[in-house]
Amino acid sequence: MAGAALGARRTLTKPELLPSAVADVLRERIVAGTLIPGQRLVEASLADEMDVSRGTVRDALKDLEDEGLIENVPRRGTYVVDPGPRDVREIYDLRAAIEMRAVRLVVENSVPGAPQTQLRQIIDRIERAVAAGDARRAQDLDMTFHTELYRLAGSRRLEEAFRRLLPVMRLVLRSRHQLYPSLLDVPREHLPVIEAIESGSAAEAEAAIDHHLAYARDLLAAHFADVRAVQEQAAANPRVEH
């Protein structure tokens, strides 16, 4: 895939001449799908395109590798990560570990029995997106719901950990137009989490978010397993051109 287009040329202005700025541009392209899974990233080409040094690009690629968006294959090069079922399970298991702690903190920070107004308002917005048949909007609001959980938890470090996972989660979610079997499942899947928080039981809230994320994990892992099976079958039975 070395010949695939890298996207529109963008020269970074002087104040942007930092690895973090280069990483931002490449991250945006990966998540948006301009740079596709499995595509090779050539350091020299990127440096020339962005009018920065190879060292700047190298540092940017290291940041993206730490985020799980790219991988360095010894003696082959650097590639946009092509997630498989195992990657999905690891990402979501890590997410569940920090999110269970987040909802416990939400419960501990809340008045027992008090309605979770902010979360219910997001659910209302999700329901409007569902009614309009807007799957992309519903999925974006799904992520807004979970981001709000971390805000309500009041832990800056937990929220930072979640935000570091966001790019690779968006990469994974981008490959599936609609996560749940039905758009109606989007608000339905989140309501038990709100109800558990409102119950005042941290244990119930942890169990609810764990169940919610496990369901999403299993759906995505099955999807990626199907994709891999199709890819392997295509590789084993290449079409013969006449």
> 181 and 94, same structural domain?
yes
DSSP annotation of 93 reads: H
**Which amino acid would we find at residue 6?**
L
- Domain with 224 in it: 85-232
- How far apart, in whole angstroms, are the C-alpha atoms of residue 69 and residue 112? 40
Is-above-0.85 flag for pTM? no
Domain CATH for 194: 1.20.120.530
Specify if 5 maps to a domain.
no
Per-position pLDDT tens, the chain of length 242 = 444 445 555 555 554 558 999 999 999 999 888 999 999 999 999 999 998 999 999 999 999 999 999 999 988 999 999 999 999 999 999 999 999 999 999 999 998 788 899 999 999 999 999 999 999 899 999 999 999 999 999 999 999 999 999 999 988 988 777 789 999 999 999 999 999 999 999 999 999 999 999 999 999 999 999 888 887 888 788 765 55
Terminal alpha carbon distance of the chain: 24
- How far apart, in whole angstroms, are the C-alpha atoms of residue 224 and residue 83? 8
Specify if 116 maps to a domain.
yes
